[in-house]
Structure 1
Amino acid sequence: MAVDLKTKEHIRGIRKAGRIVAACHKALSKRIAPGVTTQEIDRFVERFMLDRGATPAQKGYKGYPFATCASVNEVVCHGFPDSVPLETGDIVTIDMVADLDGWKADSAWTYAIGQTTSATDKLLLAAEQALLGGIKQAVPGNRLGDIGYAVQSRAERAGFQVVTAFVGHGIGRNMHEYPEVMHRGIPGQGTLLEEGMVITIEPIITAGRPEIFIAQDGWTARTIDNGWAAQFEHTIAITKDGPVILTRWD
């Protein structure tokens, strides 16, 4: 399957969508607190996007009913927003995709709720560092295996495991495009990275075993041993000058 390489104009379109996603995450970082529900977060995200001329691309995708995925504690991804208040010590991953003028940008972020433990802090740091390690490898001439190896090795050095059931992907006019971006790999192997590729890197890191199961709703993915999981994701453009984060907000 051929990679859909983007022009500079295409990347500008994705960047505009990415700025909305980034601004929304930044706004959420000031609103998420003990007592807030993920339903409230979901409504906030949808209104935030609509007010800026974008739409939440996840809503309606293959029947998914919400604007966000909201994954609490042992939920690794695709969690349904609900009316249960978040509690001090929880972590929640909010994953969102904005569609602006047909271009899409995707980013997930794990938020700590109130005071956390040192073990939770270590998990969050390892997950973010794994993402950053993968991004550094997103340069022309490298291969997807270089990204996967960087993610996996950073996570494992910190004492954590990568959940391999879920992958990153190309993105542009469609939310999921070729290629799949694995979060483990062998350096020098896999699809060649080229200028003009736009991909997501979105490792999920767990403190326990990496195996997961899907709940009865057909979407919610949980760790099999109830180990907590954290995920950080950016949409990345591969350019001759190196990786450009199109959803950067921090």
Structure 2
Amino acid sequence: MFARSEDEMSWALNYPDREVGIESWSALVDPKTVLKTTANIPGWADVADRVIKATPKEHLHDFKLMWREPQPCWTSSGGRVVQIGDAAHTFLPSSGNGGTQAIEDAISLAACLHIAGKDNTPWATRVHNKLRFERVACLQKLGVVNHELRNRSSNADVSQTMPVGLLGSWIWSHDPERYAIDNYGKVLAHLKNGTPFQSTNIPPGHVYKPWTIDELLQAKESGKEIELDGDWD
């Protein structure tokens, strides 16, 4: 993927990693190493190699795409420590939602703390966790789906400017503060008394079911489509 503005150009390339994955956001790679990969891509454009050659090494990062299971619990046992952002729910870059969901987390958590008051902080963090988990788990799954869609795309039309993938209005039109205000009491009753609660900040018509990375990878390896019930687009 290559992108540019009037002043800057950026690019990204996914490639098979045959080594043991080591997590790092600061690992650098020489453009010459990248060219060894592009040399084996049929029909690869020379102009793309020229862009790669012109990339300063200190700006060329090589970070691994690491699989992560959905993590249902983000709060400590006492409810006074809570994870947010990538610490709670790591995304593949193809989800396009890492930074966005960290912001949503912060807004949701602030709203829950405000509603609960200082004496009920542990319940505020638990309610926040319940309000957010199914939504971000769906987005984590969507990141895997979009990753596969982009890898399968053979569209070489140079006029195509939008990346291949799903980005439905349930993602970008969500108001996490209003959602927390409207649903705090319902979730609190659910946690305390077992009153049923249905998340509505997920794809319309979707019924969330726990999933694992292994299940998604097995579907991929067998050539099956990853199941997405409801309206994800």
- TM category (shorter chain) comes to under 0.3
Higher helix residue share: 2
Structure 2 length as normaliser, TM-score?
Answer: 0.26
Q: TM-score, normalised by structure 1?
A: 0.25
Larger RCO (alpha carbons 8 Å, 6+ apart): 1
- Of structures 1 and 2, the larger Rg is shown by 2
